[in-house]
Amino acid sequence: MRVLVTGGAGFIGAHLCERLLESGDKVVCLDNFKTGSRDNVKHLRTDKSFEMVKKDLLDPLDFRIDRVFNLACPASPQRYQKDPIGTIKINTIGMIGLLELARRRKARILQASTSEVYGDPLAHPQSEDYWGNVNPIGPRSCYDEGKRIAESLMFAYGAQHRVDIRVARIFNTYGPRMGTDDGRVVSNFIVQALEGNDITVYGDGSQTRSFCYVSDMVEGLCRLMDAENFTGPVNLGNPAEITVLDLARKVKKMTGSASMIRFRPLPTDDPVRRRPDITLAKRKLGWKPKVDLDTGLRKTIDYFRTVLDRG
């Protein structure tokens, strides 16, 4: 297969590129490097089956490909709120451009959607038939509603043009190659703890999240892409739920940090509870996470130690 991975120099994208190359595919990695990093894929540049293309998803696209994984969008609130109009454009104009490419090339396309389509959920855990509770004009709406319209576009192209689509709703994912400044909770806590800074918890820390290690996420994405007669949407995430405060305490203990935990006001529209129902993924994909939180955190902490030691 010749596979296009947009956002391929991002955190999950880089791991996915690596996995596809190991499987014998030829990979075209497209990234504009606004949030992705060349360091994430530099070890792949010597592979003759790997091609790096610096390009924006909003530019005209013409690649000879069999499959498309679309991971091109900032994923942390800090980054997608920095340019809300750009975030909306990626999920609308960019999505249309990719779907047109998939239509022309008769390629299968997978959209990396998000648990944020559920907003601040009133149903718990969240299953795929829940329609969500999203503020359409809040500071997070550029991402939440952007991803929702991207899903709508996927299914419209599937129905109208018979494009072969797949939709994954990704829940919180963590692991090596996360950015030290990407603003996500796991990387924030680890970097703050290792540098001896205050560990910042928003609200009282009672809000919950469920964290999936990146290798498990990549496995789920690949299984969904390979699945026949199944479009999704399907939740991919680890259903093991933990409060943000307990995560902060766990990171502090595992790093041996003397950092203090400090509380800050809860951001607008921050979800109170987040946990995936992965019944559908188990049934349709034979997939469930294998890496427990302690194991994944140890690997991630070791990675950030190395990065910070390099300066």
**Hey, is 171 helix, strand or coil?**
coil
- Among 80, 118, 143, 213, the active-site one is 143
CB 66 within 8 A of CB 108: yes
Residue in the structure block whose two tokens are 């203990």: 253
Is position 213 annotated as part of the catalytic site?
no
Residue 149: how many other CB atoms lie within 10 Å = 15
**Hey, is 222 helix, strand or coil?**
helix
List Cβ neighbours of 179 (8 Å cut-off, separation of 6 or more). Answer: 11, 35, 37, 187
**Hey, is 299 helix, strand or coil?**
helix
Cα–Cα distances in angstroms (integers) from residue 160 to residues 78, 103, 109, 126, in the given order: 36, 11, 15, 29
Positions marked active-site = 143
